[in-house]
Amino acid sequence: MVRIFLLFSVVSLAFFWATTGQAAKGPLFRQGGNPHNLSFSNTGVNYKATNATDPRATQVCIFCHTPHNARAQTPLWNRADSTQTFGHYTSSTLKINKDATAQSLSDYVAEPNGSSRLCLSCHDGVTALGAILHGGFDNSAIEINNSVSTVMTGVKVFNKAKVTSHHHPVSFKYTANVVARLNTLENPTHTYTLPVNSTSNARTFIKFDRDQRAQCISCHEPHQSQYLDTVNNPPLTPFWVYDGSGLATVSPTTVHDEVCTACHNFVSPNP
């Protein structure tokens, strides 16, 4: 009877998502399966604390945040800045990098900054994942995967080669003046718009920082993916800010592209 009930529940839930056009979300930060939760109790993830006798290993937030003695920046950050040099995306077609006016208006500086820099303190592939600044009476690194020196590897690493050649630019100001300059340079093959004026369903989910800079968190929500992509490996939409609200059909591709078209209007080629 229990199995029948569970099967009915799963089928009903799937039918609900299909008929409403809504997508399932990823696990909350405190739940099992969220990759940003490095605590000992997490399950189904590649990296987690493994020393059950270390009381810090059972804490969920400590790997990124501390309520006391944090770095002099928000949000109560508990990690040192990455020592790596990353550079910026440098495609020959990237007008924001090649045009002096666009570069000046967007303040396209040499290195990722702000919250994107915080993300890189784990994703640089060099800094130990358990290297916290403050952990109560013990500020040493927390053991991850049986070592205090464990670093991230694989496709989730953002080193200089990946940041400069394969990834969307970050840490640039995206203002009305920047949009106007880019449209002058690229129209009609590729035009731009501010999310607030976009027709994309995802426009209200896109968020810039207080300096109007596009950062990693403009498209990614570090604490919970609002759209759980179970089709692609690695996910096309990892920790996506947008859940597909307002779309008649919800899939990894449509959810992904809605975020892109909140700022871009691809005339040729299509995204």
19-73 confidence digits (pLDDT tens): 455 679 999 998 899 999 999 999 999 999 999 999 999 999 999 999 888 877 6
- Taken in order 34, 30, 77, 58, the sign of the CA dihedral is negative
Structure tokens at 213: 């800079």
Residue whose C-alpha is closest to residue 37's, from 66, 59, 52, 70: 59
Which residue(s) pair with 147 in the sheet?
A: 144
Task: Quickly state the pLDDT bin for 3 (edges 50, 70, 90).
Answer: very low
pLDDT of residue 187: 78
- Tell me: the pLDDT tens digits for 100-120? 999 999 999 889 999 999 999
The values of phi and psi at residue 147, to 5°, are: -150, 145
The CA distance from 27 to 43, in Å, is: 11
**Cis-peptide, bond into residue 75, ω within 30° of zero:** yes
The average pLDDT across 170-198 equals 92
CB atoms within 10 A of CB 100: 7
Which residue(s) pair with 201 in the sheet?
A: none
- What residue spans of the chain are helical by DSSP H? 2-20, 95-98, 100-106, 114-123, 160-165, 176-186, 252-260
pLDDT of residue 190: 84
Task: Quickly state the pLDDT bin for 17 (edges 50, 70, 90).
Answer: very low
pLDDT of residue 28: 94
- Tell me: the pLDDT tens digits for 196-255? 999 999 999 999 999 999 999 999 999 999 999 999 988 999 999 999 999 999 999 999
pLDDT of residue 22: 62
pLDDT reading at 271 higher than 60: no
pLDDT reading at 127 higher than 70: yes
CB 109 within 8 A of CB 3: no
pLDDT of residue 137: 86
pLDDT reading at 11 higher than 70: no
CB atoms within 10 A of CB 173: 18
Structure tokens at 151: 């670093």
- Tell me: the pLDDT tens digits for 136-175? 889 999 999 999 999 999 999 999 999 999 889 999 999 9
The CA distance from 79 to 133, in Å, is: 5
pLDDT of residue 13: 43
pLDDT reading at 193 higher than 50: yes
pLDDT of residue 18: 44
pLDDT of residue 73: 67
CB 140 within 8 A of CB 49: no
DSSP 27-64: PPTTSTT-TT--STT--S-S--B--TT-GGGG-SSTTT
